[in-house]
Every structure is written in C-alpha cells, then in structure tokens.
Chain A
C-alpha cells in the first residue's frame, strides 16, 4: 500500500510537471525550426527566428525598453519601499497600520483596476502626457513598491533592535547608523524585493497598456498585439524570445540555489 501511494505521488507530480513544461519546451523545440505552427511539419532546423529576434530593430528596442523600464522602476521602488518600511516600522502604531493598509491596496487590487485608475487620475484628470513616460514609470512603481516594502518588513522584525542603538552608543550619527548598520542588515530583503520588483514589472501587461505612450511597447503588450497580428516571422521570433527567457530564468534559479546552498551549507533550506 505504501508503494502504491509512492507511485501515485510520483505519477501526479510528473503529470503536473508535464502540463507546465510541455508547452514551453515544445515551443522551444519549434523555435529552432522554420515551421510556422507548433505541431506542423518540421522541414529542417534553422536559427532564423533567433536571427530575426536580434536583427529586427523593432524587437530589439522593445526588449531593451522593457528591461530598462523594469530596472528603473525596480530601483525607484527599492529605495522608496526600503525607506518606507524603516520609517513605518519605527512609527507609532496608527501611522504604521495606515501605511500597512495602504501598502496592501495595490497588492490585493486587480492590476486592471490599478492601471485604469492611474490612467484616469494622471492622464485624464491631471492631463500628464503619456509620451512623457511619467504615468508608465509611476504605474510600475505603484505595482512594485508594496512588494519591496513587504520583503523588507520581515527583515526589520528579525533584526536585533539594539543594533541601531549600539551604533549610536558607539558614536555613529543616525545617518551613519542607518547606512552602516541598518541597511546592511536589511540588504537581503531589499535585494529580494528588488528582484521581485523586476519580475513583476517584466510580467506586467495591464498597467503598461493603460499608461504607456502609444509608440512604446513592453514584451507583454508587444506579444499580445503580435498574436492578433498576422506577421508570422514576428510570431515565430517571439518563440525564440520565449526560449531565451526560459533559459535565463533557469540559469538564474540554478545560480541562486547554488549560491544559497553554499552560503548556509550546514542548515537545510526550508
């Protein structure tokens, strides 16, 4: 009976993994062919999709723009969120709770609503031009900062409360204590918040659609438009993009695992 249980478990895990990975992997395989449809006949292998991806000016600037937006928004979010978290953590209970609740709004809110409401406020009501990129960047910062805040708060809770006081006691000014003691302690939280912000921004569709300049596209909006359009070479070039992103994610996850295992070798992770 124990063995059947084990077999069933493994079968279930494998089935679900297949559901998750077969589409991605199949697309990866087809990205190396000149087929225009998955499941279609493969005439031969080619790197045409990858060449298009790197040579097409439109695709290149779209990818560059997406990455730049993600890094920029994540950086602003990291600074804003960290300062907010430190400030809120040491504030009085009511102030702290208010900030916590407000921080929670973009987290639980649907991205569609966040995007639409920002669009109405910034573009319709205040008349800020979409072409200035201000609404877009603000939108992404609204999306990302709460998550930075949420990753820094647990670190603050775990931090020994006396560290800051010890620094002051040893002659540091509050600013020095903040930068030399508190921030280094929070660094892992800030970093993971930053990484999270990058992935959230890269993944976003809705806020981008509602706030972006009409000539600018991120990967998400570009892909959605491309699936509606009829350009097959662009469509299959996106398969190549999907494959590359998949590989990058795999490499990053593996690297982070190796690093974290090395760092805390004696303890077991999770």
Chain B
C-alpha cells in the first residue's frame, strides 16, 4: 500500500459511524415496521391488518379526510405564498432579506405554542371552534406550514436569472406572457419542493387537530391512537401505508427537484 492510498482510506472511514447509525436507526426501524405490519400480536404472519384498514369505513374515511385536508391546505398555502415570494423576490427594496425573515421567522417558534395562539384567536372569533372542524384544520395547518412554502418559492424565484425575463421581453413578450411562459415554468422546482414540504406534514400532523378540539381524524391520528392502545401491528400497518404514500410522492417529485432545492427547510 502506498502512503497516498492509505490517506484517502482514512478520510473515507469517517463516514462509518454515521453509516452504521443510519442502518441501525433509520433502515432497521422501517424493516421492523414492515415485519409488524404483516404479523399479529403473537408473531404469526397475517394480512389481517391490511384487510382491516381497507375494509373499515372509519379508517378509509380517515384516509380520504387526510387527503382532502392535505390537498386543500397545500393549495391554500401555495396561493398565499406564491404572490408573497414573487413580490419579495422581485422587489427592489434593499433590505428584502429582512422582509423575508419576517415571513419565515415564526418557523423558529415552537409550533404548539403558535397553534395555542391561533386557537385563542379562533375561539375569540368563532366562540365554539369545534363547529368548523375542516375550516379550522385548514387554517391551523396553513398557519403552521406557510413559511415552509414561502421559503422554497422565494429561493427558486430569486435565483431566476434576470436576463431570462429580459430575453423574453426582448423577443416580444409582455409582462403577463413573461410570467406565464418563463417565470412560472422556471419556478416549478420551487413549487414542487414547497408542495412536498406542506403536503406530507398536513396528512400526518394530528396535533394541530387535537389542539383545535377537532374530533375528526387524519392518518397521523390513527397511529397516535394505536400507540395509545399498544397495538403495534395495526400502527405499523398505518405507518407502512404512509411510507408508501410518501415514497410515491417523493418519486413523483424527484425529477423536478434540482439539487439542493429540498434543503429549503435548512435555511437559518
């Protein structure tokens, strides 16, 4: 072995602890989930958990309800956040970074405390917040996840090369055409990454519902209640179904994601 080779080897070895960690605590739990999803309480192999999920109107209703809530929340977030990100990215305001900070700052406040604040306001306005479960859930989720939509949109819009919009104008496009044909298509990666960051949590973050005295269920709530009942097998089945949904969404969005866009959550 030459010395140079030895040195290289040394640097690579640094990833061994993390690789082991990932295998033990990221991969293994998922395998365990699969095992538990297809066994019963005594460890016997079974499809019962799967059958039970798809034959029970309650659980199926929950799945549909989560999809509806997630879809509406995502669309609402997108409709609110796109103009915000667009205005911020295009503004000539010198300190627009500060403005952006204003919009994403709540991200760093504990979400349960933020939802508490929202709950108090909603209670003051609606007097009985249990009366509008769907509306309140969407408001709550939007309140919670809006910064995660604004940030990737802003990143992708502000990265947009100004000469591209100039080129479009130069070729005869008016500002509407420039937006539709250049800006919107080029911000698709930002949209996709914002959508994934809102879509998934709004299917699973049942604490928002809980805190808003909401009696309806989303997928996450099911796991919560199976956990409370020590029903690991059915809980694992729900987790597995969620995992598959997540896997499909990730696969579908992956080809749009240019590198690093998913790191939108990592701004600080």
Contact = CB atoms under 8 A, between A and B. Distances in A.
Q: Within 8 Å by CB, do A and B touch in the complex? A: yes
A170 interface: no
Nearest to A154: B260
Ranked nearest first, the 5 interchain pairs of A and B with the lowest CB-CB distance are: A87-B15, A84-B18, A39-B124, A87-B14, A117-B29
Contacts of B98: 257
A181 interface: no
Interface residues of B, number: 89
Interface string A131-174: 00000001001100101011100100000000010001000001
B211 A145 contact: no
Contacts of A205: 111-112, 207
A109 B250 CA distance: 10
A12 B12 contact: no
A165 to B, nearest CB: 9
A270 B85 CA distance: 13
Given A102-B27, A106-B26, A196-B266, A38 B121 contact: yes
A161 to B, nearest CB: 12
Interface residues of A, number: 95
Interface in A1-54: 9, 12-13, 16-17, 19-24, 26-27, 30, 37-39
Contact of A12 (B83, B108, B210): B83
A87 B84 contact: no
Interface in A84-135: 84-88, 90-91, 95, 98-99, 102-114, 116-121, 124-125
22 contacts: A9-B91, A12-B83, A23-B120, A26-B120, A26-B121, A37-B123, A39-B123, A84-B21, A86-B14, A87-B11, A99-B15, A104-B262, A111-B205, A113-B243, A114-B29, A116-B235, A141-B21, A145-B18, A196-B266, A210-B227, A219-B110, A242-B114
Given A37-B123, A38-B120, A196-B268, A174 B109 contact: no
B216 interface: no
A95 B18 CA distance: 12
Contacts, number: 263
A242 B111 CA distance: 10
A16 B80 contact: yes
Contacts of A195: 268
A108 B22 contact: no
B239 A113 contact: yes
A83 interface: yes
A109 B27 CA distance: 12
B101 interface: yes
Interface of A: 9, 12-13, 16-17, 19-24, 26-27, 30, 37-39, 80-81, 83-88, 90-91, 95, 98-99, 102-114, 116-121, 124-125, 138, 141-142, 145, 147, 149-151, 154, 164, 168, 174, 178, 192-193, 195-196, 199, 202-203, 205-206, 209-210, 219-220, 223-224, 227-228, 238-239, 241-242, 245-246, 249-250, 252-253, 257, 268-270
B118 interface: yes
A97 to B, nearest CB: 12
A192 B260 CA distance: 15
A171 to B, nearest CB: 13
B169 to A, nearest CB: 15
B65 interface: no
A233 B200 CA distance: 35
Nearest to B91: A9
A120 B36 CA distance: 9
Contacts of A38: 120-121, 123-124
Given A113-B223, A242-B113, A249 B15 contact: no
Contacts of A20: 103, 106, 143, 146
